[in-house]
Structure formats: C-alpha cells, structure tokens
Structure 1
Amino acid sequence: MIKILKDVNANKVKQVCFGGAWYHKVMSIEYDFKGIMGDITLPMPYINRFKDDKEPTKLIDFDLKNLDVSSIYMGGHAKHESDVGLALGRAILNEKVTEGSAVYRPFWRYITDGFDDAGSYDLANGRNYSATILNDKNGIKNVYAMYHPSFSEYYYLPGDRLRMSLTSPKPDYLVLKIEVLEVSKLPYSVEFRKKYNLKETKDFTSPMMSSPGHGTNMLKTYKRVNAIDQVSNEGKEAIVSNTVIENAIWENCYLLYEENGIIYQTPMNEEIAVEMSCPNVKGFIVSELNIETGGQKITIRPKGILEWKNYLFYYYCRF
C-alpha cells in the first residue's frame, strides 16, 4: 500500500564521491525503514574497455576480458553497509565459461561483525553460491557472494523488466529478491536466449545475509545505484572510457516503513532522498526523480554527450 511518509525531521546524509567508478546513487534519509523495492528495465551495456586495449567485435563482446562492469544494485546501511543486486558477469554458453561478461547475474556484498557464510560452491549439497571474505579488519568482514553461472534461469538481459527488493526476514539479516515482471522483447535479448538455449527466466531469492541492525528499530539508510565499476580501480580516479550503459529505467522505487502495524510504501523522491552522479555529472543523462513514484531514467556515458554520439555512430557503422 502506497502512503506518503510525512513530518519526518531526519537530515539527509551528506554524500561523498568514492573513486574508481562511474555511478548515479539515490540515498534515503536516516529512518526506521523496513526495506526498499523498485521496478527496473535493464539497460543495454555497450562495454568498450577491455584487457590489452582490445576492440569489441559485437554489441556485448564476451570473448574479451572486460575492465568496465555494469552493475545495478540496492543497499542498506544500519551498523554496516550492504550492496546487493545485479552485475554484468560471465556466463556458461555452449558449455564453456565466457572470457568476459555476458549477462546480468545476482550478487550480494555485505559487511558484518557477526555471522558470515564464506565458502565455495557445493552444488551436490545444494550450496549454489560462493562467498569470499574480501577483507577482515578486527572481525569486521567484507563478504562478496555470487550465484553459480550454471543456472541460466537467473541470467537477466537488457530489456528485462524486474522488481528488485531488499528486506529483513529476521533481525540482523537481509534478503534480495528479484521478480521477473516481463521478459525482454529487445531483438538482441530474444535472439541471445534462443541462440544459447537458456532456461526459462525465473525469480531469484538470495540466501539470508548477515547485516547487523536491519530488521530492528535502528535508524537506517537505503540506496539504489546504477554504476560502471572498474576492475582493480576501487578508490582510485575513475577512468574515462567509451563504455555506455544505455537506458536503465526505474519505473518506480519505494521505501518501506511501518505505521500502526501496517507496512506502507513511500516514494523514494527528493523529499526523503538525495542523489549524486560521480565523479562528473557530465558523464550521465539522468531524468528528474518522479515525485510520485521515485522513478528515473539513467544513461551512463563517461566520454560525454558529443563523444558518446560520435562513438555510437562509429560503433554501429563498422558491423
């Protein structure tokens, strides 16, 4: 049920640009939110930065090792930070693992000082994901997990319309859900699914991930992010590339809150959120946040509008 959250005196959290990626983020105020959800149509990722400066030979060239990665995710911050959603990753096509990224696949990264489920795949016993501790600072662990690429029912493609949500099934835990609202009708995606005989696209639910403070009455912030992450460049100056992530369409985005025992949805708009485009606003085409739905249309193109148009003309004309 949609209801506008009113009379909130919480301050908007000051945002600081983090180096090494191009990203557009919308971040909520601090409040006792119960989660976040939104409907998105996945963008077309024209990746154009590869290992050894190689040039792509097709729209999504997964025969090359990409150094730019398209990601679309939600996150929550209570005691620590979590980022969960979709990242353009490798796939198993024709019984071979691709060299580079080919499809959007679920991932989850959480920081915890509590339980972690780090470990490798164990498909025989139903553990279909791996989780790696990226670093451990005095018991505060940064854990990254991704589902095994053999499950092509969880391959999501440009033009797929999905509902993503991040909620707490129990105190101190989060769960990511991805619901398929409509399978893409873009010729590229239709032909891709047919050519590689992918399984019927299905909804996805992640394992519970440790996230202290979520599912309690602790103040929290939630966010949604569209990004070009850059391999081995975290925390450094973002590299200007010809990569373009075109037309990610957030139809809506709502924050969940409780009032008199009822869970309501309130639009994540400029009244209760702040947005930022890093590291340079000229690298983005972003529509105004919809006041009623929290919706927005986002294109990321670091080279800028003139270079982007010239690049796409060159790109399409050579194939």
Structure 2
Amino acid sequence: MKYDDTIGGDIIQTDFFVNEIKPPANYQCFLGAYYRKAVSSKDLWIGIEGSVVLPTLFFDPNRIDLTKPGKYLDNVSVYFGGNSDGQETDIGLLWEIIRYDNGTVSNERLAFRPFMRRTGHSKTGQAAIYQNAPANKSFYWYSNDIVKITLKLVEPGKLKLSVIGSGKSYETIFEANGYQYYNKAEYKRVNAIDQVANEGKPVQPTKTKVFGAKWLEVYLLRMVNSNLVKAVMHPKRFTSMKCPSSNFINVFSYDENSSIENINLSGDCLV
C-alpha cells in the first residue's frame, strides 16, 4: 500500500484506506452539556492522537455551586475517548482543583488535569470507574498551553493515555475490557462546557464561554501490514456534532483534508 507521507518516522495517510468504513452522516445529540464532538466511523481503529491549544475560560459568575464553595455549576473539558463492544470511554483533560506546595487543596478549579472514565462492560462484568491523575503540579496544564494527547490500545483491554506539553508529561494504563484488537471501535475528540448534575437533561442557561481552543493536528491510529499508520482525522473522516445546537458552537476548519480546527463554545448564542 502506498502512503501519503512519512513525517519524523510516522506514516501519515490522508486518503481513505481500502475498505475503510465511512462515518455516519449524523448522530443525535446527548443532552446535558454544550459541546463540539467529532466521532470517527466504527472500524479497526486502535486509538487517536492530537495536539491542541488549550482554551481560555470565562465562567458565568451567577452559576455558583452553593454546595461547593469556590466552584461553578459549569466546568470545561478537552478530551478523547471511544466506544468498543458497547463500552464508552472519556479520557483527557478536565478543569480541576489543585494541590498547593504546602499540601492544601484549592477550593477553585484552577488547572487542567488528566482524567479517565469508562462505562461498565457487561460481557466481562467490568464495573464503571472514574479516575484522575494525582493532584501534582507536574500534571497541571493551563490555558494557551499546547499539549499532545495520545490514547492508544497497547494490549487487549488496556488503553494507554499520554499527555505531553509545556515541559511536563503524564502516562497511565487504563483498563477497558471492551477494547480488543479484533473489535471495531470508534474514537472521538470533544471540547465541552459540562454542567454539574445535568447529564441527560436539557442544558441550563449560562453565560460561560470557552474561547481559543485549536486542534493543530488529529490522527486516528490503525495497524496496516504490521505498520502503525496515522490517518488524518479530517472532516470526511468524522461525524460532526455541535450540541445542543450550532448556535452555541463556533468552528473554523481549514480545508477538507486537514484536521486543524478552531473551536469556541458559549452558553450565549454565537450566531
């Protein structure tokens, strides 16, 4: 098979593979948050990788969480994830509290920190779980940082998360039994304004804004003839979702063969 390019030892593929499954034209939005999601087809993907400029956050001062001093009823996440054999994962960066050098913990959320979440896997009895990276300054990232995030199947039932940027790095293995090399899987990238205790419900009105996120490159990972190939996740390779509607999501894509995308989110209409 002839590949499009080789960059720094990586094999890059822009065109579709032979027999590659195309993504659906659309998906129904899941209620509960304002988000931009790009979802691949369900195919023999083994992961996703990308570099992103982290956004600047402006929280609605009227949406204070009265049960948790210093926190808002909105939060912000930038993450990857997938679905394989019915098991959903969300894995990436979440705006979180931090631990100061003196050991005290902030009331406010002040930095992006890695998180990992999976649903249960009914066939093996694996339970749902949520985990965070330790509250350690080595694992904090901030607005305007450029980070490279990689989520890759490295063993049957084991996903490796890697976050690298601004002189810091974090790696972990996250168990998810539904992810097997023989299973067709879909992978996603998501930029979101999450809302506390609102999953599955209509979005709550908010003036929270998240501006300036930019995906510099995104690749779907695939093994072809024993080679790891990075397939450019351009607009023809994903289902585009702007939820709850495009009124709240501003997206600028560069061209149909590029994975570069600028994203702004707002609880106020942007159009």
Q: TM-score range by the shorter chain?
A: 0.7 to 0.9
SS at match of 1:227: strand
Partner of 1:41: 53
Write out per-residue CA displacement over residues 165-207 of structure 1, whole angstroms, 9 at most, x where no aligned residue: 1001201111110011xx3xxxxxxxxxxxxxxxxx511102x
Could you tell me which amino acid in structure 2 is paired with residue 101 of structure 1? R
**Structure 2 residue 17 is matched with structure 1 residue 6:** yes
Residue aligning to 1:144? 130
Distance 2:238 2:182 in 1: 20
1:75 matches 2:87: no
Q: Is the 8 A contact 2:115 2:130 kept in 1?
A: yes
Which residue matches 1:313?
none
Query: Matched residue of 2:154: which SS?
Result: coil
State TM-score, norm by structure 1. Answer: 0.75
CA–CA distance in 1 between the matches of 2:126 and 2:107? 33
Q: Distance in 1 between matches of 2:127 and 2:240?
A: 28
Match of 1:102 in 2: 110
More helix per residue: 1 or 2?
1
Matched with 1:57 is none
Instruction: Tell whether 2:163 aligns with 1:178.
Output: yes
Between the aligned partners of 2:29 and 2:175, the Cα distance in structure 1 is: 26
2:253 is paired with a residue whose SS is: coil
For structure 2, which runs of at least 5 residues remain unmatched after alignment?
Answer: 1-10
Between Structure 1 and Structure 2, which shows a larger proportion of strand residues?
A: 2
- Cα deviation, 1:227-262, whole Å, max 9, x if unaligned, reads 011011111111121111111110010001121111
Spell out the pairing of 1:74-93 with structure 2 (5 A cutoff). Answer: 74-79=80-85, 80-93=87-100
Matched residues in 1 for 2:146 and 2:257: separation?
20
What whole-Å deviation, never above 9, does each CA across 1:106-131 have from its counterpart, x for those lacking one? 000012438xxxxxxxxxxxxxxxxx
Q: Name the SS for the 2:138 alignment partner.
A: helix
**Aligned length, in residue pairs:** 255
Report the Cα distance in structure 1 between the residues aligned to 2:126 and 2:44, rounded to whole angstroms.
23
Partner of 2:184: 219
Question: What is the CA–CA distance in structure 1 between the aligned matches of 2:178 and 2:32, rounded to whole Å?
Answer: 28
Conserved in 1, the CA contact under 8 Å of 2:97 and 2:105?
Answer: yes
| Alignment CA distance shift 1:138-1:205 (3 Å) | closer
- TM-superposed CA distance for 1:20, in Å, is 1.0
Per the normalisation by structure 2, the TM-score is 0.87
Q: Give the direction of change, closer, same or farther, for the CA distance of 1:289–1:213 in structure 2 (3 Å limit).
A: farther
Percent of aligned positions with the same letter in both sequences?
Answer: 27
Deviations 1:133-186 (A, max 9, x none): xxxx9945221001221x111110011101001001201111110011xx3xxx
Mapped contact 1:282–1:302 kept (Cα < 8 A): no
Shift of 1:217: 2.1
Shift of 1:94: 6.0
* 1:23 and 2:35 are equivalent in the alignment: yes
The gaps in structure 1 that reach 5 residues or longer are 54-61, 115-136, 184-200, 307-319
160-169 or 268-277: bigger deviation: 268-277
2:235 paired residue number: 270
2:247 is paired with a residue whose SS is: helix
| 8 Å CA contact 1:110, 1:209 repeated in 2 | no
The answer to whether residue 169 in structure 2 is matched with residue 203 in structure 1 is yes
The 5-angstrom pairing of residues 226-305 of structure 1 reads: 226-288=191-253, 290-305=255-270
CA distance in 2, matches of 1:26, 1:98: 33
Tell me the C-alpha RMSD between the 2 structures. 2.3
Aligned counterparts of 2:170 and 2:81: Cα–Cα separation in 1: 17
Separation in 2 of the partners of 1:290 and 1:256?
21
Task: Using the TM superposition, give the Cα deviation of residue 290 of structure 1 relative to its aligned residue in structure 2, in angstroms.
Answer: 4.1
Which residue does the alignment assign to 2:4? none
CA contact (8 A) 2:126 2:177 kept: no
1:65 pairs with one of 65, 71, 77:
71
Q: Does structure 1 conserve the Cα–Cα contact (< 8 Å) formed by 2:117 and 2:129?
A: yes
**Deviation sequence 1:202-221 (CA, Å, 0-9, x none):** 11102x22222424121110
Given that residues 13 and 231 in structure 2 are in contact (C-alpha distance below 8 angstroms), is that contact kept between their aligned partners in structure 1? yes
